[in-house]
Amino acid sequence: MADPRIKKLASILVRHSARVKKGDVVLIAASTELAKPLVLEVFREVLKAGGHPLTSIGFEETSNIFFDTATKEQIAFFPKTRLFEAKNIDCFVNIRAAANKKALSNVEPKKVGERTKVLRPISEEIVNRKRWILCNFPTHGLASEADMSLEEYEDFVYGATNIDWNKVKKEEMKLKAVLDKANVVRIVGEDTDLTIGIRGRKAIPCFGERNMPDGEVFLSPEESSAEGYIYYEMPAIYQGREVTGIRLRFRGGKVVEASADKNEDFLITMLDTDKGARFLGELGIGVNYGIQKFTKDILFDEKIGGTIHLAVGRSYESAGGKNISAIHWDMIKDLRRGGAIYLDGKAIQRNGKFLI
């Protein structure tokens, strides 16, 4: 018998997140075979909703084989069959179930960046404009990365996902209201004083329709507005690489100085991916106070109540963003000890607690 928490999560993913209706073609994609219990329950829920479920199950090893073996021509190959599939699917349920989150740690970053650019017409221009939802399925690998036992991690995941998302939405709308009226955001904290223009950019509340778990309000900043500097206490993880002690300085919206205590070369390589990689694509404010522990997983960590995250690279058209890049790398700033957020000079948060 399936864990009832898995059944409930599957129902949330299909009914609330993907909003599957009769006749929808739904692709259930799992990163590894470890996600089987959730894949099966989502498959069942899609059928109950009158949809047509399809499955795509991956193997963690294939990415390493590809980047170790593929030629330049193979990396540059555009899969037309995947493009056709993406165009003919209504909803995407993406389930991550990593056995080893660092599986790509030794892959040459440039190769990954090049492949990402090749697939961008599918991921950004097709998939991102449809209904999709991303979530984790608890595995030993994810639990270990979060410094938890599998049982502890299961409790952590389901405690953060199986909640009343309509109630979360009501709370987030309050923050959206004040952001939508503001022109300038100022972020202050340890080794941080950064101002960002948001005039005319509408905030988007997130309550389980794209990510699961959720709990953030985000927007895309004015592209040339960022001025100042920021230090990230929390590790920033991208493509399996962990970069710590990141310091960025912005001028005219662009990262003009960048350093890190660990993996600085990787940081610089990613910032040099393309012209848009050194500009901000997102400012997000975490509002999920049920998530307090840093787990080295951006899906959870960017939602931590009392933090903000800034993404270098691609912005969101839905949020008025115009920055184009092959990368979108979220970096988390902790404001719970001495930090603050100001809107047009007025504090709306201090020490991670809202004043609105």
Closest CA to 127 of 13, 221, 29, 273: 29
Model pTM? 0.78
Residue 1 has pLDDT above 70, yes or no: no
SS3 351: coil
d(CA 48, CA 12): 13
H/E run at residue 167:
helix 165-181
Query: The dihedral of CA 203, 205, 210, 213: what is its sign?
Result: positive
**Spatial separation of the C-alpha atoms in residues 330 and 339, rounded to whole Å:** 19
How far apart CA 283 and CA 276 sit, in angstroms, is 16
List, for residues 264-316, the tens digit of each pLDDT value: 999 999 999 999 999 999 999 999 988 888 988 888 999 999 999 999 999 98
Pick the CATH number of 4-161 from 3.30.750.24, 3.40.50.300, 3.90.600.10, 3.40.1830.10: 3.40.1830.10
**pLDDT (tens digit per residue) in 143-167:** 998 899 999 999 999 989 998 998 8
Q: Provide the residue ranges of all domains of the chain, joining segments of one domain with +.
A: 4-161, 165-354
**How confident is the model over 56-82, as pLDDT tens digits?**
999 988 888 999 899 999 999 999 999
Q: Is residue 98 very low, low, confident or very high in pLDDT (cuts 50, 70, 90)?
A: confident
Q: Where is average pLDDT lowest: 164-168, 194-198, 228-232?
A: 164-168
